[in-house]
Chains A and B, each alone.
Chain A
Amino acid sequence: MAFPQGIPFRSTSGFVTDGANDSVETSTSNTTNAAVDSASYPRTSAQGNNVGYETGSFNVLITRDRSTSVDPRLAGLHGTNNGPVMTYRIDMPTAGYKAVRLAVGDNNYSFNVTPPGLELFDGTTRLRTLESLPTNAAAHWMDATMAERTSSADWVSNNASITERFLTTILRVNITHPAGIAYLYVEDAATPPNAFIRAKYALFPKTVMRRISQ
């Protein structure tokens, strides 16, 4: 399977033109532009990876097309509408260190997210919170480090990635109401400089090691 893999989230596939590494998630099990039966896994992306929502039901997810004037990756969003946790899955070619990028926000409105928000999992093991803060204005997007980017251009230029080591080939993002997502991206990453320390002290509880390594 080919990496990187980007997933722009919106309502309509043809609303904007996606980049070569991106495969839009619309979850259009119906065409009402809302309240989709949103479980979509497995879907094989044009990049050759099996992806999709593993869980979902009517009235849980709202999909929106927002603007063709912003970067195509930020053109729309999926937002939760109560209901159970939504889980998005990407099957990766290999385990190992992966860089993850994210955009959470709405071009038209400030966007409400409260903890736990978006959480990153390696298979069934929780790795970290990706995003749990609201944006303060329309056309602001939070990145994977929970930094608020104040325009499309700001997000494009400055969005930062986080790097995590995956022991499995299954990346999951849990999205707990109120929350949503505009863009998710994952690619192979180099082994970080502190990897030796992490390995040496691997007997420590994961939470302790995370404090050391961050």
Chain B
Amino acid sequence: MTIPVTAVSILRVLLQMERNLSGLQNDMRNNALTWRTAAQAQSTPIATLAGFMNSAATAYQTRLGWVTGIQADATNWPRISAMFVVLGGTGQDFSDLMTPLTAVANQLGPATKNSYAQIIALCDQITAAVNAPLSLWPE
């Protein structure tokens, strides 16, 4: 006998989505600040920094893919979505968050990173596009 997907399971996924997306917003911003500092100090070789950024683009895509994956789950997504509506959210809330994050993730990999100046400019674009998420305590 297997345990069915209950409202408890649905809540778990909803909370995972929150943690993943809020965390991704934080990580995109914090990593851009870290890369910018390294590029400005020229303390890490350009190729290494570019490798980190390309890897991060892949990792970001993975995390966004988890969300689009569950959204495509015809069985469970309607239940998750319905629970989110009870909390006062709408599908637009996910779109408003996912759209800019996806844009950054898509642009980060192919962007030119042949010089420290290009890396700094790219990091500035990311921090301009991705502000820190709302938080009760200083982060």
* In the complex with contacts A1-B58, A20-B43, A20-B44, A46-B139 CB distance below 8 A: no
* B137 and A31 contact, CB distance less than 8 A: yes
Size band of the interface chain A makes with B? 10 to 19
Q: Is A48 an interface residue (CB 8 A)?
A: yes
State the Cβ distance, A122 to closest chain B Cβ, in Å. 19
State the Cβ distance, A54 to closest chain B Cβ, in Å. 11
- Chain B contacts with A in 63-83, Cβ cutoff 8 A: 63
* A20 and B59 contact, CB distance less than 8 A: no
Listed in ascending order, the chain B residues whose CB lies under 8 Å from chain A are 19-20, 23-24, 27-28, 30-31, 34-35, 38, 43-44, 48, 51-60, 62-63, 137-139
* In the complex with contacts A1-B58, A20-B43, A28-B139, A44-B51 CB distance below 8 A: no
* B27 and A44 contact, CB distance less than 8 A: yes
* A30 and B23 contact, CB distance less than 8 A: no
* B58 and A48 contact, CB distance less than 8 A: yes
* A1 and B137 contact, CB distance less than 8 A: no
* A42 and B20 contact, CB distance less than 8 A: yes
State the Cβ distance, B119 to closest chain A Cβ, in Å. 13
* In the complex with contacts A20-B43, A20-B44, A42-B20, A47-B60 CB distance below 8 A: no
Contact code string A182-194 (vs B, CB < 8 Å = 1, else 0): 0000000000000
**Alpha-carbon distance A28/B19, docked complex (angstroms):** 14
Q: Is A128 an interface residue (CB 8 A)?
A: no
* B54 and A46 contact, CB distance less than 8 A: no
* A50 and B38 contact, CB distance less than 8 A: no
* B60 and A44 contact, CB distance less than 8 A: yes
* In the complex with contacts A20-B44, A31-B137, A50-B62 CB distance below 8 A: yes
* A1 and B55 contact, CB distance less than 8 A: yes
Contact code string A159-176 (vs B, CB < 8 Å = 1, else 0): 000000000000000000
Q: Is the interface of A mostly helix, strand, loop or mixed?
A: loop
List of A residues within 8 angstroms of B44 by Cβ: 20
Q: Is A49 an interface residue (CB 8 A)?
A: yes
List of B residues within 8 angstroms of A93 by Cβ: 55
List of A residues within 8 angstroms of B23 by Cβ: 40, 42-43
Q: Is A2 an interface residue (CB 8 A)?
A: yes
Instruction: Give 22 A-B contacts (CB < 8 Å), ordered by A residue.
Output: A1-B58, A2-B54, A20-B38, A20-B43, A28-B139, A30-B137, A31-B138, A40-B23, A42-B23, A44-B28, A44-B31, A44-B60, A44-B63, A45-B31, A46-B56, A47-B56, A48-B54, A48-B57, A48-B58, A48-B59, A91-B62, A93-B55
State the Cβ distance, A17 to closest chain B Cβ, in Å. 9
**Alpha-carbon distance A1/B139, docked complex (angstroms):** 26
State the Cβ distance, B53 to closest chain A Cβ, in Å. 7
List of B residues within 8 angstroms of A45 by Cβ: 31, 56
**Alpha-carbon distance A40/B38, docked complex (angstroms):** 24
